[in-house]
């Protein structure tokens, strides 16, 4: 049986994870490779990608790693060139790098605000800028940007820059989706809710709960109507659907993966 992404070349940014387990980018690398994609895995550091490589190697999937800071234009341009040199094309771009910082505008300093914008939005712009001309020449391609429920609603903690950046991603993707639809390129946003990824223990618990990981997980879970927390594999399955031919009529829109949280008003 052939996979749903057989022979497709996928650049996935943030292909490692802040800790062991299923971050979104790692899960996307593994799931896409299981479906026959050739993975061009991109991360700032090589160590977080070790577990990703192991998981893909377990079933003999094809994966190449590349180090790149996706907030830096010259590094992004070189990264995309390296992918084309290695695999000859780019069918899929998953812009997965991003993350939050705590605070409203009064308590957040200007450097943190600027970093949040570069980390969450400029990185997406730079990768799209480098990849779109290649997809345009091919006459096909899919770009999936990664939003957050924080870009749709209040999520229990002040994350003003992150919320603004992730809301921006949604509309950026819609506009790109319409602009590039006549060229055969689809652009969508996957919107993770409050997932149980290693990032919660590695970063969020300190930012929002004085280091109380279990307490924070309980609070996050209590907001989810389905009553359990998804992880990176749920995001990967949603992105897989959007990248597959099954989604050929879907562009310039979003898929929310949050166990129902966004629709709940408390
Ligand atoms: N985890 C959640 O609950 C959650 C919820 C909503 C949205 N998201 C979004 O999902 C995405 C992935 O989140 P995660 O928690 O799985 O990721 P993560 O924090 O585990 O990070 C993934 C990888 O990104 C790499 N990275 C960081 N900065 C980079 C840079 N400048 N260039 C290249 N690589 C870089 C890190 O080294 C790491 O290996 C983010 O955009 C995040 O905002 C996550």
Cross-strand bridge partners of residue 146: 190
Average pLDDT, the chain: 96
Whether residue 52 is predicted with pLDDT greater than 80 in this model: the reply is yes
Give the residue among 239, 211, 15, 231 at the shortest CA–CA distance from 146. Answer: 239
Residue with tokens 């993975």: 39
For the entire predicted model, the pTM comes to 0.97
Contacts of 168 (CB under 8 A, 6+ apart): 121, 151
| Cβ-contact 151, 169 below 8 angstroms | yes
DSSP state of 18: S
Distance CA(254)–CA(244), nearest Å, equals 15
Residue with tokens 């359990």: 228
Is 180 marked active-site?
A: no
Q: Following DSSP, what letter does each residue of 30-86 receive, concatenated?
A: HHHHHTTPEEEEEES-SGGGHHHHHHHHTTT-EEEEEE--TT-HHHHHHHHHHHHHH
In tens, the pLDDT along 242-251 reads 999 999 999 9
| Cβ-contact 107, 23 below 8 angstroms | no
For residue 218 the two structure tokens come to: 């309980």
The pLDDT-based confidence of 210 (bands split at 50, 70, 90) is: confident
The predicted pLDDT at position 200 comes to 87
| Cβ-contact 143, 185 below 8 angstroms | yes
DSSP state of 107: T
Catalytic residue among 22, 32, 119, 162: 162
- Neighbouring CB atoms inside 10 A of 171's CB total 11
Q: Does the beta carbon of 19 sit less than 6 angstroms from any atom of ligand 1?
A: no
CA of 97 to the centre of ligand 1 (A): 5
Distance CA(237)–CA(170), nearest Å, equals 19
CA of 14 to the centre of ligand 1 (A): 6
Q: What is the dihedral of CA 218, 237, 128, 154, to 10 degrees?
A: -30
Instruction: Write out the H or E segment, with its range, that includes residue 144.
Output: strand 141-146
Q: Delimit the domains of the chain by residue range.
A: 9-259
CA of 183 to the centre of ligand 1 (A): 30
Closest residue to atom 37 of ligand 1, CA basis: 44
In tens, the pLDDT along 78-106 reads 999 999 999 999 999 999 999 999 999 99
Phi, psi values for residue 123, rounded to 5°? -60, -40
- CATH code of 9-259, in short, is 3.40.50.720
Cross-strand bridge partners of residue 190: 146, 255
């Amino acid at each position: 049986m052939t996979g749903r992404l057989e022979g497709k070349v996928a650049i996935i940014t943030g292909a490692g994870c802040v800790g062991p387990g299923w971050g979104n980018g790692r899960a996307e690398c593994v799931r896409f490779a299981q479906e026959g994609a050739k993975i061009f895995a991109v991360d700032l550091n090589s160590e977080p990608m070790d577990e990703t490589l192991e998981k893909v190697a377990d079933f003999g999937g094809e994966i190449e790693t590349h180090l790149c800071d996706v907030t830096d234009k010259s590094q992004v341009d070189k990264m995309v060139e390296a992918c084309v040199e290695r695999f000859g094309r780019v069918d899929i771009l998953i812009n997965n790098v991003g993350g939050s910082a705590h605070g409203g505008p009064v308590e957040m300093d200007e450097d943190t605000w600027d970093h949040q914008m570069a980390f969450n939005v400029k990185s997406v712009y730079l990768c799209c800028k480098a990849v779109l001309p290649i997809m345009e020449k091919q006459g096909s391609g899919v770009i999936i940007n990664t939003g957050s429920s924080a870009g749709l609603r209040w999520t229990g903690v002040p994350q003003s820059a992150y919320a603004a950046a992730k809301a921006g991603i949604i509309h950026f993707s819609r506009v790109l989706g319409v602009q590039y639809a006549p060229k055969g390129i689809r652009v969508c946003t996957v919107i993770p809710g409050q997932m149980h990824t290693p990032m919660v223990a590695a970063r969020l618990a300190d930012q929002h709960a004085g280091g109380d990981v279990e307490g924070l997980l309980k609070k996050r879970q209590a907001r989810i109507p389905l009553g359990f927390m998804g992880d990176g594999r749920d995001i990967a399955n949603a992105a897989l659907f959007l990248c597959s031919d099954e989604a050929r009529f879907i562009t310039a829109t979003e898929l929310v993966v949050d166990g129902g949280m966004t629709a709940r008003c408390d």
